[in-house]
Amino acid sequence: MRNFEGGGPEAGIAGIAGIAGIAGIAGIAGIAGIAGIAGIAGIGQQNPLTSDALITNRDGISGTPLPTPFPVAAPSPENAKNLSRLSADVRASIFDFELASRIGFAASPRTSNDPAVARVFQMETTANAGDAPTCAYQPLITMSEPTMDTFQTQLSYLFSYADLRPDRGAEILAQIGSPVAFMASIGFMDAGRTPHTLELLATVLRLARFVEMRVKYSLACKRPLEFSPQVQPMIPTPTHGTLPSGHATEAFILARTVWKLMRASNAPQYNANDGVFGDMLMRQAARVAINRTVAGVHFPVDSVSGALLGLTLADFVSERCTYCTGDTGQRTSASFNGENFAGADDFNWHQLYTAPDDAQVADQIGTDGKWMTSQTEDTATDLTDSAPLQWLWGKAVKEWTDITS
């Protein structure tokens, strides 16, 4: 049988369906109420009988009013130590603000000479002693639509990949939601073992969806189903645009984030054998992406652009989580030129990223010209950092560090 994998044994796997209902972490390895915390001894959502019982209970035990107030220490404002006492859904809102508030967007409509272009920016701020910060937008990802001829040519891949549906149907259906379970088959993750890692992954998935949906809306590329009655997807086609693939975006932001945590832990197994853990995570992400083509809901070019977006966002998140004011940080940006991507080319993640070095490839030139660029550069040293994200990242990294006597 023909090797459809485009660069390794990443043979298929479906996707994230945009992360069905990820809103607020619901479902990701139990983070919405980590390991049942929201229900321990009835704490959490309370039924009416308990509320009524608490009313009569207070009447029975509270006694007469106390004569003097109790000494209560003043709170500690803007202190990351407070985060451990907040519920997961409250922390999620804080983390989302810290990331989403640093994202900007601009779009250029299609003209007679130029394709539609979506531009995502990363905002860098400099603190001004409590006053409005100084802000500057820097490029994060630029994405232009492919030609209609490119999509037409790529239909041949959908017809070929459709032969794999009987073999991969279970994977495709299992991955309509989050693929975290598949990543956890490579890196040891469990709500009891790595709760903060899972919380971080839920955070990056929400960011990915936030960005990808805006880009999809802007470019409005049509789904395979609209190009031929013979595509006949095996799952419902989502209503949002086909490019970039949300499943590819989310799978690759997950894979690279987990790989970054492994590397940061300095555990010897993750740095051995030329980064095979990172390579395996990327294979898994690619399998998720390719299976969306197997299912009949995405073109290979959708996975190319989605993977580039996910990889770039992963670097944005890690930098946001680790930068400290006074240090020199790094800023990664990338671009995808859809007009120059050849319709005859399949998805190959190796063209975008090298796992052993955790580095994006600088550029790719195809038969129609340069279709991808990526660059990393130093930032200023006086940018505003994020204590909440530093807290989350630090907690997550510790979960990958070996315990020694």
Phi-psi region of 220 (alpha: psi -120 to 50; beta: other; left: phi over 0): left
Asked whether residue 196 is domain-assigned, the answer is yes
Q: Which whole number is the average pLDDT over 159-169? A: 98
Count of domains observed in the chain = 1
Model pLDDT, residue 214: 98
Return the percentage of the chain with pLDDT > 90, whole number: 80
Asked whether residue 228 is domain-assigned, the answer is yes
What are 122-137's pLDDT values in tens digits? 999 998 877 888 999 9
Q: Of the candidates 369, 336, 338, 329, which has an alpha carbon nearest to the alpha carbon of residue 352?
A: 336
Reply yes or no: is the peptide bond before residue 9 cis, omega within 30 of 0.
Answer: no
pTM of the model: 0.88
CA–CA distance, 195 with 335 (Å, rounded to integer): 34
Asked whether residue 75 is domain-assigned, the answer is no
What is the distance in angstroms between the CA of the first residue and the CA of the last residue of the chain? 51
Asked whether residue 291 is domain-assigned, the answer is yes
Model pLDDT, residue 18: 37
Model pLDDT, residue 45: 65
What are 323-362's pLDDT values in tens digits? 999 999 999 999 999 999 999 999 999 999 999 999 999 9
> Scanning the structure block, which residue is given the tokens 């804080």?
94
CA–CA distance, 240 with 221 (Å, rounded to integer): 9
The per-residue b/e assignment along 62-100, b for 16 or more CB within 10 angstroms, e otherwise, is: eeeeeeeeeeeeeeeeeebeebeeeebeebbebbeebbe
pLDDT surpassing 60 at residue 148: yes
What are 175-234's pLDDT values in tens digits? 999 899 999 999 999 999 999 999 999 999 999 999 999 999 999 999 999 999 999 999
Model pLDDT, residue 30: 40
Model pLDDT, residue 312: 98
Asked whether residue 302 is domain-assigned, the answer is yes
CA–CA distance, 178 with 174 (Å, rounded to integer): 8
User: Residue 356 is part of which domain span?
Assistant: 80-102+148-328+342-370+379-398
Instruction: Say whether 9 sits in a helix, a strand or coil.
Output: coil
What residues pair up with 372 in beta bridges, in sequence order?
336, 364
What are 243-273's pLDDT values in tens digits? 999 999 999 999 999 999 999 999 999 988 8
Any idea what the CATH number is for the domain that residue 85 is in?
1.20.144.10
Asked whether residue 316 is domain-assigned, the answer is yes
Asked whether residue 296 is domain-assigned, the answer is yes
Asked whether residue 304 is domain-assigned, the answer is yes
Model pLDDT, residue 179: 93
Sign of the Cα torsion 235, 239, 245, 250 reads negative
Model pLDDT, residue 38: 42
Model pLDDT, residue 315: 97
Identify residue 202 by its one-letter amino acid code: A
- Rounded to 10 degrees, the C-alpha dihedral 182/183/184/188 comes to 150
